[in-house]
Amino acid sequence: MQWKGVMPAMTTAFDAELKVDHAFIGRHARWLRDNGCAGMVCLGSLGEAATLTFDEKISVIQTVAGAVSPQIPVVAAISALSTAEAVALAQSVSRAGAQGLMILPPYVYQGDWREMKAHVAAILAATELPAMLYNNPVAYGTDFTPEQIQELAREFPSLAAVKESSTDVRRVTAIRALTGDRLAIFVGVDDAIVEGIDAGAVGWIAGLVNAFPRESVDLFNFATEGRKQEAFELYRWFLPLLRMDTVPKFVQLIKQVQQEAGLGSARVRPPRLQLEGPELAAAKADYAQAAAHRPAVAKRSTALPR
């Protein structure tokens, strides 16, 4: 398991009856791989995991692992209302073909550090898979501080990475100051990727990559290699779309962009509803603007296979 590079937070495709569209998910995963992505992260927030049944989650991992493994790793996000369910999910995705875990705090309950540490520890102990801790206090209300992350890293060898989505780039430098190279740090918000790399991040769990993988990989590589002018030109073009990843309706927005690009459907499961009215018009306009003014430095993603 190599914790580096651009790893899509994969959307979960649904058919017209809102059933999981496994055929599309497999094609989509292969297309992302062929456009340079380093791994697949499934069942996260963008993957609408909260609307998937336990069995659906396992089947998504099986589909993606069957499509891209062993060429690149599949990481399963572990989220649940209870620790017992999270442990069972971690064990099941391990058997289904996942090579790594991304551990979220429990849904709904915002516990203190003692409780959250016990939750994470139970999941880490449930399998031998390496794991990434997902810190997203904006969405989940639980903040794993750099000091707490350092404590977990000292006590649990299988903790290998952190997805930092606090929106504060200073967290990247703070975690590095406390843990050195012990943990691979991934940026988890799309519109902070260049700044995050400058601060020491080595990976990107990306959202708009679902529609623009080649461009996302190029941006990551330009920033990592210090090609600042190329990175700036591409970043400036990309930012209106990347900012879609930072608002409450990010799932609807990113899926709408996929549909506009001919790379998926805007279908979401309730309680989410597809965009309409001014929100839909704004999303369409942002996509059209980006499509019409793609910078010369950007490489177009190859066509999605049928």
List residues with catalytic annotation: 134, 163
Does 254 belong to an annotated binding site?
no
In 3D space, the residue among 272, 255, 274, 273 whose CA is nearest the CA of residue 263 turns out to be 255
3-state secondary structure of 203: strand
Distance CA 146, CA 141 (A): 16
Contact 240, 212 (CB under 8 A): no
Question: Around 231, how many Cα atoms within 13 Å sit in the side-chain half-sphere?
Answer: 18
Pairing verdict, β 131-135 and 159-164: parallel
Specify the long-range contacts of residues 184-189, CB closer than 8 Å, at least 24 apart: 184/3, 184/4, 184/132, 184/160, 185/161, 186/3, 186/7, 186/132, 186/161, 186/162, 187/163, 188/134, 188/135, 188/136, 188/163, 188/164, 189/165, 189/245, 189/246
Task: Please report, in range form, the residues annotated as the binding site.
Answer: 205
Task: Please report, in range form, the residues annotated as the binding site for pyruvate.
Answer: 205
